[in-house]
A and B are shown apart, each in its own frame.
Chain A
Amino acid sequence: MKDLLDTIVRPLVDNEEVMQITEHRRGNQTILNLKLASEDMGRVIGKGGKRATAIRNIMKARAFQERRRVSINIGE
């Protein structure tokens, strides 16, 4: 799943070299930790979390195919 998250987010950030994604699974839960340059936080989260919501929406569609739940943490 982290490859898809990378695909979605990478074109939105300025500091690609700082961006990092780790993926953990526990039971049927997948946790994606997305680490960004602080300057890119707003670019990925968007006004009122609009962009983050869109990103989560696509990731949920993928998780659903695998019968999994996904949560995405966005941090610096």
Chain B
Amino acid sequence: MSNWVETTAKTVDLAIEQALETLGVGVDDVIIEVIEEGEAGGLLGFGRKPARVRVSLADEEVSEQTMPSDEHAAEIDEEDEPEEEDLDRYGAVTPELEDAALDYVQAIMQGLNIHGRIGSYIGEDGSLNIEVTGKDCGPAIGHHGETLDAIAYLTGLAVNRKADKRVRVSLDIGGYRQRREKKIREMVERQVDRVESSGKPSRLKPMTAAERRIVHLALKGRHGVITYSQGVDPERYVVIAPADGDA
């Protein structure tokens, strides 16, 4: 008997099941290579592609070359997102860029098995806003919005590779950002009260660039206080200070 089999079936799990049966072993005794993940296909299964796997007995050395860790190769060329203070140097969002962004987010949603609705609009400041709504968005939001931040960040990078001039892309999923923005604004108002009554600056908790921007914009032109950011991401935070201080 050979030490591996290749099987195809409707799904990866079914293909694995088949292979295990053929080999007569349990899932813990094998290494599985997923060759094709398969696609469900559309109505009536048209366009369906089967899943294909190769299952090998674990004691056999498979060509699973462990690759070098990536932490070394980090000098990089391209712009990462700029600080929130330089708000004005952005390009216009073309329909092509908008489509590219929507396609990218949509494909990731699909990969996370989220079947919400997706829409986009150009904001007053010229930024591209993408919104995903639907019931089961949780997996795409993640703990403290970490997954949402990751998707938003990579979407910005993917889109800006196609852009002549950098565009700002923001993403909301399941209303998370909206809820978060409301909370931040309420917190900012409380802190402004504190700063005004005590005359001392107040440090906020570390926030992402997008969230710091909410604070800066909320207090832009506000009498009596100024805002600035300090520290290094991901620990960078906003300070709200009295305007007549050392500004």
Contact = CB atoms under 8 A, between A and B. Distances in A.
A55 to B, nearest CB: 7
Contacts of A31: 64
Contact of A61 (B77, B80, B142, B161): B142
Given A65-B113, A75-B67, A7 B107 contact: yes
Contacts of A7: 104, 107-108, 111
Contacts of A24: 31-34, 62, 64
Interface in B136-165: 139-140, 142, 146-147, 149-151, 153-154, 157-158, 161
A57 B142 contact: yes
Interface in B47-104: 58, 62, 64-71, 73-78, 80, 100, 104
B77 A42 contact: yes
A74 B73 CA distance: 10
Interface in B154-183: 154, 157-158, 161
B107 A43 contact: no
Given A25-B34, A26-B31, 20 more contacts: A1-B37, A7-B104, A8-B108, A11-B100, A11-B104, A12-B158, A24-B62, A34-B67, A45-B76, A47-B74, A48-B74, A52-B70, A54-B150, A55-B150, A57-B147, A61-B147, A62-B111, A62-B139, A65-B112, A73-B69
A49 B147 contact: no
A31 B78 CA distance: 28
Contacts of B246: none
A24 B30 CA distance: 10
A26 B112 contact: no
A58 interface: yes
A27 B25 CA distance: 13
Contacts of A50: 80, 153
Contacts of A27: 27-28
A45 B34 contact: no
A62 B27 contact: no
Contact of B76 (A46, A54, A57, A75): A46
Given A2-B37, A11-B161, A61-B112, A73 B67 contact: yes
30 contacts: A1-B34, A4-B112, A7-B111, A11-B104, A11-B158, A23-B33, A23-B34, A24-B34, A24-B62, A25-B16, A41-B70, A41-B73, A42-B73, A42-B75, A43-B77, A45-B70, A45-B73, A46-B74, A49-B70, A51-B154, A53-B150, A54-B151, A54-B153, A57-B150, A58-B112, A61-B139, A61-B147, A62-B139, A73-B70, A75-B67
